[in-house]
């Protein structure tokens, strides 16, 4: 963890989806309705622990909790009414939320901030979790994705932290290959559905009987693919047939 920055507080600006210059004074980063990430007026270093927070020299985003804390805000929720947050004319967009989550994760990685209830939290969680009194701040005691009906800030916060962790660990999803289908070893005299499959892969008549024609086709395939030309369809021959 950085010695000077150890926390992110997540806010909504109570402004429009495109922030004003006034909005930008209060936060280090703002995410717009179209998912753009903007720098606020003050750099994150202006809130470093150990720095004297003289008025007008740092981003004042959370009462008595600005030292060491990054203010990350959604440009959103202008004229919002607590009773029906979703009815607001600047409710966060999906694009905005996704960019917000990615930016939070990026900041955690850059500053070595662990994603915990104490270190990455919404403004509405500050009083509940850290006991630092705020004046009725409700960003976010609603789900800014507009999905959860809960008004519990910690439950909403847990959901956001989960997404932030996922964004930080995001790696391309690699499909794990399942076990290869097991194929029996087939030879002259074998019969059945697997022989039919073998014949299909060899491109010959599928009579499901491993006779001389099938054996000749297996040998031809083996020779063509630098396999032991024994006329027996074992694992290497099956694998070669299924690749080719």
Instruction: Rule CB under 5 A: say whether 163 interacts with Zn ion.
Output: no
User: What distance in Å separates the CA atoms of residue 204 and residue 229, rounded to the nearest whole number?
Assistant: 18
Instruction: Rule CB under 5 A: say whether 29 interacts with Zn ion.
Output: no
User: What distance in Å separates the CA atoms of residue 44 and residue 59, rounded to the nearest whole number?
Assistant: 8
Mark the segment that binds Zn ion (CB under 5 A) among 7-15, 19-27, 91-99, 190-198: 7-15
By CB neighbour count within 10 A (0-12 exposed, 13-18 middle, 19+ buried), where does 25 fall? middle
Largest CA distance in the chain: 93
User: What distance in Å separates the CA atoms of residue 45 and residue 43, rounded to the nearest whole number?
Assistant: 5
Mark the segment that binds Zn ion (CB under 5 A) among 25-33, 42-50, 132-140, 160-168: 132-140
Mark the segment that binds Zn ion (CB under 5 A) among 5-13, 89-97, 155-163, 172-180: 5-13
Shortest distance, position 62 Cβ to Zn ion, whole Å: 6
Residue 102 neighbours by CB under 8 Å, 6+ apart? 167
Pick 10 or 241: Cβ nearer Zn ion: 10
Instruction: Rule CB under 5 A: say whether 123 interacts with Zn ion.
Output: yes
Shortest distance, position 41 Cβ to Zn ion, whole Å: 16
Instruction: Rule CB under 5 A: say whether 139 interacts with Zn ion.
Output: yes
Q: Is 7 helix (H, G, I), strand (E, B) or coil?
A: strand
User: What distance in Å separates the CA atoms of residue 86 and residue 58, rounded to the nearest whole number?
Assistant: 31
Which of 5, 6, 8, 11 forms a contact with Zn ion (CB under 5 A)? 11
Shortest distance, position 179 Cβ to Zn ion, whole Å: 52
User: What distance in Å separates the CA atoms of residue 59 and residue 181, rounded to the nearest whole number?
Assistant: 61
Instruction: Rule CB under 5 A: say whether 26 interacts with Zn ion.
Output: no
Please give the residue ranges that form the binding site for Zn ion (CB under 5 A).
11, 123, 139
């Amino acid at each position: 963890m950085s010695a000077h920055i150890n926390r992110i507080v997540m806010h909504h600006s109570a402004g429009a989806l495109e922030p004003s210059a006034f909005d930008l004074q209060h936060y280090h980063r703002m995410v717009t309705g179209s998912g753009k990430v903007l720098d606020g007026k003050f750099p994150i270093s202006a809130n470093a622990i150990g720095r004297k927070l003289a008025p007008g020299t740092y981003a004042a985003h959370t009462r008595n909790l600005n030292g060491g804390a990054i203010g990350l805000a959604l440009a959103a929720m202008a004229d919002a009414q607590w009773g029906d947050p979703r009815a607001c004319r600047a409710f966060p967009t999906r694009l905005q939320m996704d960019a917000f989550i990615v930016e939070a994760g990026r900041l955690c990685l850059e500053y070595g901030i662990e994603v915990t209830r104490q270190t990455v939290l919404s403004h509405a969680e500050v009083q509940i979790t850290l006991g630092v009194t705020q004046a009725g701040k409700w960003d976010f005691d609603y789900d800014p994705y507009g999905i959860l009906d809960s008004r519990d800030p910690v439950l909403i916060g847990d959901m956001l932290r989960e997404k932030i962790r996922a964004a930080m660990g995001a790696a391309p999803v690699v499909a794990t290959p399942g076990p290869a289908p097991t194929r029996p070893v087939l030879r002259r005299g074998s019969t059945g559905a697997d022989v039919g499959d073998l014949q299909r892969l060899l491109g010959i008549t599928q009579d499901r009987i491993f006779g001389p024609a099938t054996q000749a086709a297996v040998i031809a395939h083996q020779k063509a693919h630098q396999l032991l030309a024994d006329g027996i369809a074992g694992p290497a021959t099956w694998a070669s047939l299924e690749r080719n």
